[in-house]
Amino acid sequence: MHSWITKTAVIFMAVAMTQARAASPNVTIPGGVLDGSIAGVDVYVGVPNEAAAPPGKACQAVKRYVDLVNAGQFAKVADLFQENAALLEPTGHTALGRDQIRAFYEKTIGQMRPQVVAVAFVGDDTDCMVELATKRKVNNELRYVLVSVDHFKMGADGRISSMIAFVRPPRNA
Protein backbone atom coordinates (compact mmCIF):
# COMPACT_ATOMS: atom_id res chain seq x y z
CA MET A 1 0.00 0.00 0.00
CA HIS A 2 1.31 3.43 -0.91
CA SER A 3 2.20 5.78 1.93
CA TRP A 4 0.17 8.50 0.21
CA ILE A 5 -2.96 6.40 0.80
CA THR A 6 -2.24 6.44 4.53
CA LYS A 7 -1.56 10.18 4.40
CA THR A 8 -4.79 10.69 2.46
CA ALA A 9 -6.68 8.89 5.22
CA VAL A 10 -5.18 11.37 7.71
CA ILE A 11 -6.36 14.32 5.59
CA PHE A 12 -9.88 12.88 5.39
CA MET A 13 -9.86 12.28 9.17
CA ALA A 14 -8.97 15.95 9.67
CA VAL A 15 -11.83 16.87 7.33
CA ALA A 16 -14.28 14.69 9.30
CA MET A 17 -13.10 16.12 12.61
CA THR A 18 -13.60 19.70 11.45
CA GLN A 19 -17.03 18.94 10.00
CA ALA A 20 -18.18 17.42 13.28
CA ARG A 21 -17.46 20.47 15.40
CA ALA A 22 -19.79 23.40 15.89
CA ALA A 23 -18.54 26.76 17.15
CA SER A 24 -15.78 25.74 19.52
CA PRO A 25 -12.16 26.41 20.36
CA ASN A 26 -9.79 27.06 17.49
CA VAL A 27 -8.32 23.92 15.89
CA THR A 28 -4.97 23.56 14.16
CA ILE A 29 -5.04 21.56 10.91
CA PRO A 30 -2.93 21.53 7.74
CA GLY A 31 -2.64 25.12 6.60
CA GLY A 32 -3.06 26.72 9.99
CA VAL A 33 -5.69 27.46 12.58
CA LEU A 34 -9.44 27.29 12.02
CA ASP A 35 -11.57 30.01 13.59
CA GLY A 36 -13.71 28.21 16.16
CA SER A 37 -16.05 31.17 16.56
CA ILE A 38 -17.62 30.55 13.16
CA ALA A 39 -20.14 27.72 12.92
CA GLY A 40 -21.11 25.87 9.77
CA VAL A 41 -17.94 26.45 7.73
CA ASP A 42 -14.22 25.87 8.25
CA VAL A 43 -12.58 29.30 8.11
CA TYR A 44 -8.89 29.92 8.65
CA VAL A 45 -7.61 32.55 11.04
CA GLY A 46 -5.67 34.69 8.57
CA VAL A 47 -4.13 33.39 5.37
CA PRO A 48 -3.48 29.64 5.46
CA ASN A 49 0.04 28.32 4.99
CA GLU A 50 0.71 26.90 1.56
CA ALA A 51 1.91 23.31 1.69
CA ALA A 52 5.02 22.21 -0.14
CA ALA A 53 4.19 19.77 -2.92
CA PRO A 54 5.87 16.36 -2.58
CA PRO A 55 8.53 15.59 -5.20
CA GLY A 56 6.36 13.15 -7.21
CA LYS A 57 5.40 14.16 -10.75
CA ALA A 58 1.66 14.21 -9.99
CA CYS A 59 1.84 16.71 -7.13
CA GLN A 60 4.33 18.85 -9.05
CA ALA A 61 1.74 19.07 -11.85
CA VAL A 62 -0.96 19.94 -9.29
CA LYS A 63 1.27 22.68 -7.86
CA ARG A 64 1.55 24.09 -11.38
CA TYR A 65 -2.25 23.78 -11.71
CA VAL A 66 -2.78 25.84 -8.52
CA ASP A 67 -0.26 28.47 -9.68
CA LEU A 68 -2.00 28.82 -13.07
CA VAL A 69 -5.47 29.07 -11.48
CA ASN A 70 -4.21 31.83 -9.17
CA ALA A 71 -2.61 33.62 -12.14
CA GLY A 72 -5.90 33.48 -14.06
CA GLN A 73 -4.23 31.55 -16.90
CA PHE A 74 -7.12 29.17 -17.50
CA ALA A 75 -6.21 28.14 -21.06
CA LYS A 76 -2.82 27.04 -19.70
CA VAL A 77 -4.62 25.08 -16.94
CA ALA A 78 -6.34 23.08 -19.67
CA ASP A 79 -2.97 22.39 -21.32
CA LEU A 80 -1.98 20.39 -18.20
CA PHE A 81 -4.66 17.81 -19.13
CA GLN A 82 -4.44 15.00 -21.67
CA GLU A 83 -6.40 15.44 -24.89
CA ASN A 84 -9.00 12.87 -23.70
CA ALA A 85 -8.93 13.73 -19.97
CA ALA A 86 -11.98 13.72 -17.70
CA LEU A 87 -12.82 16.37 -15.12
CA LEU A 88 -15.62 15.66 -12.63
CA GLU A 89 -16.83 18.59 -10.57
CA PRO A 90 -18.93 18.18 -7.40
CA THR A 91 -21.69 20.23 -9.01
CA GLY A 92 -22.34 17.28 -11.32
CA HIS A 93 -20.58 18.94 -14.25
CA THR A 94 -18.36 16.60 -16.25
CA ALA A 95 -15.93 17.91 -18.85
CA LEU A 96 -14.57 15.33 -21.28
CA GLY A 97 -11.52 16.20 -23.33
CA ARG A 98 -9.18 19.16 -23.23
CA ASP A 99 -11.52 21.42 -25.24
CA GLN A 100 -14.40 21.00 -22.76
CA ILE A 101 -11.98 21.37 -19.85
CA ARG A 102 -10.59 24.59 -21.36
CA ALA A 103 -14.13 25.94 -21.84
CA PHE A 104 -15.01 25.05 -18.23
CA TYR A 105 -11.95 26.84 -16.83
CA GLU A 106 -12.21 29.87 -19.08
CA LYS A 107 -15.96 30.39 -18.61
CA THR A 108 -16.91 29.00 -15.20
CA ILE A 109 -13.73 29.23 -13.14
CA GLY A 110 -12.63 32.34 -15.02
CA GLN A 111 -15.75 34.18 -13.88
CA MET A 112 -15.09 33.18 -10.28
CA ARG A 113 -11.39 34.22 -10.32
CA PRO A 114 -10.59 32.14 -7.22
CA GLN A 115 -7.60 32.73 -4.96
CA VAL A 116 -6.61 29.18 -4.03
CA VAL A 117 -4.19 27.89 -1.40
CA ALA A 118 -3.09 24.26 -1.42
CA VAL A 119 -2.96 23.50 2.32
CA ALA A 120 -2.08 19.79 2.05
CA PHE A 121 -0.69 17.45 -0.60
CA VAL A 122 -0.36 13.69 -0.66
CA GLY A 123 0.90 11.86 -3.71
CA ASP A 124 3.50 10.21 -5.86
CA ASP A 125 4.29 10.06 -9.59
CA THR A 126 0.81 8.89 -10.66
CA ASP A 127 -1.71 10.26 -8.11
CA CYS A 128 -2.04 13.43 -6.07
CA MET A 129 -4.65 14.48 -3.53
CA VAL A 130 -4.72 18.15 -2.60
CA GLU A 131 -6.81 19.97 0.01
CA LEU A 132 -7.72 23.48 -1.12
CA ALA A 133 -8.79 26.64 0.63
CA THR A 134 -10.11 29.68 -1.20
CA LYS A 135 -11.21 33.19 -0.34
CA ARG A 136 -14.95 33.56 0.24
CA LYS A 137 -17.20 36.03 1.93
CA VAL A 138 -17.98 34.88 5.49
CA ASN A 139 -20.02 37.18 7.71
CA ASN A 140 -19.44 40.03 5.22
CA GLU A 141 -15.67 39.57 5.38
CA LEU A 142 -13.32 37.90 2.87
CA ARG A 143 -11.78 34.87 4.60
CA TYR A 144 -10.03 31.68 3.52
CA VAL A 145 -12.35 28.66 3.73
CA LEU A 146 -11.59 24.96 3.19
CA VAL A 147 -13.47 24.08 0.03
CA SER A 148 -12.39 20.74 -1.43
CA VAL A 149 -10.14 17.74 -1.64
CA ASP A 150 -9.26 17.04 -5.27
CA HIS A 151 -7.81 13.85 -6.74
CA PHE A 152 -5.58 14.12 -9.81
CA LYS A 153 -4.46 11.08 -11.81
CA MET A 154 -1.51 11.36 -14.20
CA GLY A 155 -1.20 9.71 -17.58
CA ALA A 156 1.96 8.06 -18.92
CA ASP A 157 2.60 11.22 -20.97
CA GLY A 158 2.97 13.35 -17.80
CA ARG A 159 -0.35 15.15 -18.26
CA ILE A 160 -3.41 14.93 -16.02
CA SER A 161 -5.70 12.11 -17.19
CA SER A 162 -8.48 12.78 -14.66
CA MET A 163 -9.44 15.13 -11.88
CA ILE A 164 -12.25 14.59 -9.41
CA ALA A 165 -13.15 17.43 -7.05
CA PHE A 166 -14.80 16.53 -3.75
CA VAL A 167 -16.41 19.62 -2.28
CA ARG A 168 -16.62 20.03 1.47
CA PRO A 169 -20.26 20.12 2.55
CA PRO A 170 -21.29 22.75 5.10
CA ARG A 171 -21.15 21.62 8.70
CA ASN A 172 -24.26 21.58 10.82
CA ALA A 173 -24.23 24.68 12.97
Q: What percent of the chain lies above the pLDDT cut of 70?
A: 85
- Which domains, from first to last, does the chain contain? 3-167 (3.10.450.50)
Mean pLDDT of the chain: 87
Q: Is 15 helix (H, G, I), strand (E, B) or coil?
A: helix
- Does residue 9 surpass a pLDDT of 70? no
Q: How far apart are CA 63 and CA 95, in angstroms?
A: 21
| Per-residue confidence band for 164, with pLDDT thresholds at 50, 70 and 90 | very high
**What is the reported pTM?**
0.84
Q: Are 151 and 1 in contact (CB under 8 A)?
A: no
Nearest alpha-carbon partner for 160 in 92, 70, 55, 86: 86
